[in-house]
């Protein structure tokens, strides 16, 4: 493997150097803008197989037709290739414009992902007027929030297991997709739930207090369990009063415990309770001090089931960052809120598959206790494939 570092006044110039030096098959390892000086300087690190680099001139040579080395392309493939050439030309224009405006690495990676998707779809795009079931599945999954790479892998796996005749059965393709998604997330749901003490953490405004009230009502009124409530959220205006109102309506005891010793005292008072629900203050996932304090607060001799709440109204990048950064708190499971404000259920699958932790509930409105649904692997798979909660 040959690895080299390049510096240039623009990303476009650096990429040009890499292609000229290492060839079209070079892999970009890193990209960053160097500080200092009046003019911007970009540093890119790239790698290429040494054997490929040595053979680059020969591999780029186009073989003439009729030699027997390159089979003739069938008409339908030519039509597909023609359509994708146009897409690629448009994408090239975007890349050139992006480089002129000094758009940096993150934006270029988005363009790279789009380019990869074009090539991926060469294998499943239909050349006739009516889309194939596998192609239709891919686009439906992506439209529903499933990441392009996951959607492509799902379609590829399904195609390998189907006969040519079965590929025309769209309902059968959907069932296969549900089975694959369910199988992929089952390991995340095999963790033992800890049960009695349940905490809710997450960013500000994600719906922790309302979700807690919904579960308190479900367990106390429907399951006839003895429930106790504890709130540590003394930061948000009227947060305690909001939970106190819910507690009064349901006839449940409430303790305010902003410090850990107060929390321990509250737990001792609730020794006779079947379930103890803990509300916590919301903060940004960038607040390292808060995350550490929250971790210390919930670290007890007895097990605490900690649920991270993630809003479906956040961007996919923000959702993933929330799941990643709050891992410092040590959460066990996730609850996705505000599904009534989003229909991209595939985003849930992305997060569960990425972090390897289950989502046991989703909420879809403000009504207490109605707007909350239990979630399991089968239901999650059905939601993602059908893009419907029911």
224 lies in some domain: yes
User: Given the structure tokens 């007027």, which residue do they identify?
Assistant: 129
What's the CA gap between 73 and 374, in Å, rounded? 51
pLDDT at 115: 52
326 lies in some domain: yes
43 lies in some domain: no
Mean pLDDT of 144-150: 90
Mean pLDDT of 235-255: 86
Question: How much is the mean pLDDT over the chain?
Answer: 79
175 lies in some domain: no
**How many CB atoms sit inside 10 A of residue 319's CB?**
22
Taking CA atoms, 155 is separated from 152, 331, 349, in Å, by: 5, 32, 15
98 lies in some domain: no
- Residue 102: pLDDT band with limits 50, 70, 90: very low
Share of the chain above pLDDT 70, in %: 72
Half-sphere exposure of 137 (CA within 13 A, CB side): 28
What's the CA gap between 103 and 53, in Å, rounded? 29
- Residue 59: pLDDT band with limits 50, 70, 90: very low
- Residue 200: pLDDT band with limits 50, 70, 90: very high
pLDDT > 70? residue 111:
no
**How many CB atoms sit inside 10 A of residue 304's CB?**
20
Mean pLDDT of 144-165: 84
pLDDT > 90? residue 70:
no
Mean pLDDT of 108-124: 51
Torsion of CA 183, 184, 187, 190, to 10 degrees: -50
39 lies in some domain: no
pLDDT > 80? residue 353:
yes
Whichever domain contains 301, its CATH number is 3.40.50.300
pLDDT digits (tens, 9 = 90+) for 280-305: 988 788 888 888 898 999 888 888 89
What's the CA gap between 167 and 158, in Å, rounded? 9
What is the residue range of 247's domain?
Answer: 194-331
207 lies in some domain: yes
Query: 88 — alpha (psi -120 to 50), left (phi > 0) or beta?
Result: alpha
The total number of structural domains in the chain stands at: 1
Phi, psi of 3 (to 5 degrees): -120, 130
pLDDT digits (tens, 9 = 90+) for 299-326: 888 888 999 999 999 999 999 999 999 9
Higher-confidence position of 356 and 103: 356
111 lies in some domain: no
Q: Which residues on adjacent β-strands are paired with residue 200?
A: 279, 307
Mean pLDDT of 29-46: 68
pLDDT at 29: 64
């Amino acid at each position: 493997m040959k690895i080299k570092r390049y510096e240039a006044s623009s990303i476009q110039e650096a990429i040009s150097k890499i292609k000229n030096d290492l060839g079209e098959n070079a892999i970009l390892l890193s990209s960053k803008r160097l500080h200092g000086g009046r003019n911007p300087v970009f540093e890119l690190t790239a790698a290429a197989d040494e054997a490929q680099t040595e053979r680059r001139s020969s591999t780029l040579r186009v073989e003439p037709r009729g030699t027997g080395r390159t089979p003739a392309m069938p008409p339908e493939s030519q039509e597909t290739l023609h359509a994708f050439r146009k897409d690629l030309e448009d994408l090239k224009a975007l890349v050139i414009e992006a480089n002129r405006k000094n758009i940096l690495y993150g934006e270029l990676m988005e363009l790279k992902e789009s380019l990869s998707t074009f090539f991926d779809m060469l294998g499943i795009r239909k050349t006739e007027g009516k889309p194939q079931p596998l192609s239709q599945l891919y686009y439906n999954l992506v439209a529903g929030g499933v990441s392009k790479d996951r959607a492509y892998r799902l379609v590829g796996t399904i195609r390998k297991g189907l006969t040519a005749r079965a590929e025309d059965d769209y309902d059968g393709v959907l069932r296969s997709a549900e089975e694959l998604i369910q199988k992929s997330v089952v390991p995340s749901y095999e963790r033992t739930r800890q049960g009695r003490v349940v905490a809710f953490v997450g960013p500000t405004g994600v719906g922790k207090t309302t979700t807690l009230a919904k579960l308190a009502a479900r367990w106390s009124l429907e399951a006839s369990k003895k429930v106790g409530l504890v709130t540590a959220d003394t930061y948000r205006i009227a947060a305690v009063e909001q939970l106190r109102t819910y507690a009064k309506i349901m006839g449940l005891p409430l303790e305010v415990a902003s410090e850990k010793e107060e929390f321990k005292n509250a737990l001792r008072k609730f020794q006779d309770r079947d379930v103890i629900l803990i509300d916590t203050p919301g903060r940004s996932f960038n607040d390292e001090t808060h995350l550490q304090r929250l971790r210390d607060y919930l670290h007890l001799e007895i097990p605490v089931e900690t649920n991270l709440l993630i809003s479906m109204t956040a961007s996919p990048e923000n959702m993933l960052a929330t799941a990643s950064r709050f891992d410092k708190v040590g959460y066990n499971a996730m609850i996705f809120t505000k599904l009534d404000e989003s229909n991209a259920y595939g985003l849930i699958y992305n997060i569960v598959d990425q972090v390897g932790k289950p989502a046991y509930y989703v909420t879809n409105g403000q009504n207490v206790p109605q707007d909350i649904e239990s979630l399991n692997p089968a239901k999650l798979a059905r939601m993602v494939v059908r893009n419907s909660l029911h």
